[in-house]
Copies of this chain bind each other. A is one copy, B any other.
Amino acid sequence: MATARPGPNLSRIAASLGVSVATVSNALSGKGRVSAELVERIRATAATLGYVPSQAGRALRTGRSGVLGLVLPDISNPLFPQIAQAIEHAAAIAGYGVLIADSRGDVGTQTEAIHRLVERGVDGMVIVPRRGTRIADAGCPVAVIDTPSTPGNTVSADHWQGGREIASHLRNLGHRKILLIGGSSASSVQNDRIGGFKSALDATIKTEVLWIEKLEEQDGPGCLLGLADKVQQGFTAFAAVSDLHALRALTELQRAGIAVPDSASVTGFDDLIWSPVVTPALTTIRMDIAAIAEIAITALVSAIQNGEPIKKGRPREASADEPLHVNRLVTAEKSRVPMQLVVRQSSGPLGLASTNLSAGELLT
Q: Which residues of A pack against B, CB within 8 Å? A: 1-7, 11-12, 50, 52-57, 59-60, 63-67, 70, 75-78, 80-82, 84-85, 88-89, 92, 97-102, 104, 116-121, 123, 139-140, 221-222, 224, 244, 247-248, 250-252, 254-255, 259-260, 273-274, 276-281, 308-309, 311, 313-315, 318, 322, 324-326
Contact A280:B254 (CB < 8 A) given known A85-B76, A88-B101? no
A304 nearest CB neighbor, chain B only:
B1
| Structural contact, B84 and A121, CB atoms closer than 8 A | no
Note all chain B residues with C-beta closer than 8 A to A140.
1
Tell me the smallest distance from the CB of A289 to a CB of chain B, in Å: 11
Among B54, B81, B84, B99, contact of A67 (Cβ-Cβ < 8 Å):
B99
Interface majority SS (helix, strand, loop, mixed), chain A: loop
Among B12, B76, B88, B222, contact of A75 (Cβ-Cβ < 8 Å):
B88
The 15 listed contacts between A and B (C-beta, < 8 Å) are A2-B63, A6-B313, A50-B324, A53-B119, A55-B65, A55-B119, A56-B56, A59-B59, A75-B84, A75-B88, A76-B82, A99-B99, A244-B277, A247-B278, A255-B279
Q: How long is the Cα–Cα vector from A252 to B345 in the complex, in angstroms?
A: 13
| Structural contact, A100 and B98, CB atoms closer than 8 A | yes
Note all chain B residues with C-beta closer than 8 A to A276.
221-222
Note all chain B residues with C-beta closer than 8 A to A85.
75-76, 102, 104
| Structural contact, B60 and A311, CB atoms closer than 8 A | no
Tell me the smallest distance from the CB of A15 to a CB of chain B, in Å: 8
| Structural contact, A65 and B76, CB atoms closer than 8 A | no
Tell me the smallest distance from the CB of A241 to a CB of chain B, in Å: 15
| Structural contact, B55 and A222, CB atoms closer than 8 A | no
Among B57, B118, B121, B252, contact of A279 (Cβ-Cβ < 8 Å):
B252
| Structural contact, A100 and B102, CB atoms closer than 8 A | no
A255 nearest CB neighbor, chain B only:
B279
Q: How long is the Cα–Cα vector from A313 to B308 in the complex, in angstroms?
A: 33
Note all chain B residues with C-beta closer than 8 A to A59.
2, 55-56, 59-60
Note all chain B residues with C-beta closer than 8 A to A99.
67, 97-100
| Structural contact, A84 and B100, CB atoms closer than 8 A | yes
Tell me the smallest distance from the CB of A155 to a CB of chain B, in Å: 20
Q: How long is the Cα–Cα vector from A278 to B160 in the complex, in angstroms?
A: 27
Contact A248:B279 (CB < 8 A) given known A6-B314, A81-B80, A89-B102? yes
Note all chain B residues with C-beta closer than 8 A to A315.
11-12
| Structural contact, B222 and A251, CB atoms closer than 8 A | no
Tell me the smallest distance from the CB of A71 to a CB of chain B, in Å: 11
Q: How long is the Cα–Cα vector from A263 to B6 in the complex, in angstroms?
A: 66
